[in-house]
């Protein structure tokens, strides 16, 4: 089972990827995390990527496809994976089709959150300088002891650019996957555990494992609300 998470920056893909990967016993693959690690390691590719990421723009489809292809070659992805941040363009989705060939079922969940909430979430977000995870609200430091900082690309002007790039480059993926009946739109404004539950239900439904109703409904004609 493979799950692709799509949704604008700040819609909760990273949080959900970790939770769902745990529930599904498969690895979560976050292209943003892979890129930030390359930046931290100071490799030439990482340095080039940093400039692009700090402007809120996208890394080339070729580079991203190579990164994901190499990650999918690793043995731990054989039972499946949760993809967070890839694909982000239709070209990447076409490349992913090839990479997913023979890897079993693929489900796509789109997290839907209004723009004002996204801007609020991202500009208020604090991450740990040392381990990179999102901080708990109100906490003064990370559990690992690292200090909390804003991500360089969470400045409001960069956030607006990321949202603009999302609209033109990534939004068309909803149609791409919707036309194949692979897409499940999920309300990303709900509490994280409810978002997780709804995605799990969508996965079950797509596997034809929809739960049987637990209550028996009376026939509609017996309803007191009907004439
Ligand atoms: P978010 O989803 O919150 O924008 P990510 O952590 O997923 O943040 O990604 C951070 C940045 O990394 C993106 O703004 C982009 O520059 C780059 N990036 C990540 N994944 C991709 C991708 N699939 N294609 C192109 N660029 C990417």
Q: What is the DSSP string of 88-145?
A: -SHHHHHHHHHHHTTS--EEEEEEE--HHHHHHHHHH--EETTT-PBPPTT-SS-TTS
> Whole-model pTM?
0.87
Q: Kindly list the catalytic residues.
A: 13, 88, 125, 151, 162
Instruction: Specify the DSSP class assigned to residue 150.
Output: -
pLDDT higher for 139 or 150? 150
Which of 36-50, 77-91, 186-200 shows the lowest mean pLDDT across its residues?
A: 36-50
- Helix 13-24, helix 192-206: angle, nearest 10: 50
What is the mean pLDDT of the segment spanning 13-28?
97
Say which residue the tokens 């080039």 belong to.
48
- 73 C-alpha to center of ligand 1: Å? 21
Contact 35, 49 (CB under 8 A): yes
Query: Is residue 53 in contact with ligand 1, taking CB distance under 6 Å?
Result: yes
- pLDDT for residue 4 is more than 50: yes
Query: Is residue 132 in contact with ligand 1, taking CB distance under 6 Å?
Result: no
Of all protein residues, whose CA lies closest to atom 1 belonging to ligand 1?
Answer: 9
What is the mean pLDDT of the segment spanning 22-45?
94
- 23 C-alpha to center of ligand 1: Å? 24
Report percent pLDDT > 90 for the chain: 79
Separation CA 68–CA 56 (nearest Å)? 20
Helix, strand, coil abundance in the chain, percent, nearest 5: 50, 15, 35
What's the chain's average pLDDT?
Answer: 91
Model confidence at 22, pLDDT cuts 50, 70, 90, reads: very high
75-132 tens-digit pLDDT: 999 999 999 999 999 999 999 999 999 999 999 999 999 999 999 999 999 999 888 8
- pLDDT for residue 153 is more than 50: yes
Query: Is residue 151 in contact with ligand 1, taking CB distance under 6 Å?
Result: no
What is the mean pLDDT of the segment spanning 188-202?
97
Report percent pLDDT > 70 for the chain: 91
Separation CA 196–CA 23 (nearest Å)? 9
């Amino acid at each position: 089972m493979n799950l692709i998470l799509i949704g604008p920056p700040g819609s909760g893909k990273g949080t959900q990827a970790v939770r769902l990967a745990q529930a599904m016993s498969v690895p979560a693959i976050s292209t943003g995390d892979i890129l930030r690690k390359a930046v931290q390691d100071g490799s030439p590719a990482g340095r080039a990527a940093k400039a692009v990421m700090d402007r809120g723009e996208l890394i080339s489809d070729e580079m991203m496809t190579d990164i994901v292809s190499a990650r999918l070659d690793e043995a731990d992805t054989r039972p499946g994976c949760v993809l967070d941040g890839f694909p982000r363009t239709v070209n990447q989705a076409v490349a992913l089709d090839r990479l997913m060939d023979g890897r079993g079922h693929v489900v796509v969940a789109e997290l839907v959150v209004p723009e004002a909430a996204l801007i609020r979430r991202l500009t208020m977000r604090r991450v740990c300088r040392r381990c990179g995870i999102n901080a708990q609200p109100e906490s003064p430091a990370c559990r690992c002891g690292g200090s909390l900082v804003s991500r360089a690309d969470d400045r409001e002007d960069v956030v607006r650019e990321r949202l603009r790039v999302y609209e033109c480059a990534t939004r068309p993926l909803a149609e791409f996957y919707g036309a194949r009946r692979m897409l499940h739109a999920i309300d990303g404004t709900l509490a994280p555990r409810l978002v997780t539950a709804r995605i799990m239900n969508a996965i079950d439904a797509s596997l034809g494992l929809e739960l049987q109703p637990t209550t028996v409904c009376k026939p509609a004609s017996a309803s007191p609300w009907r004439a």
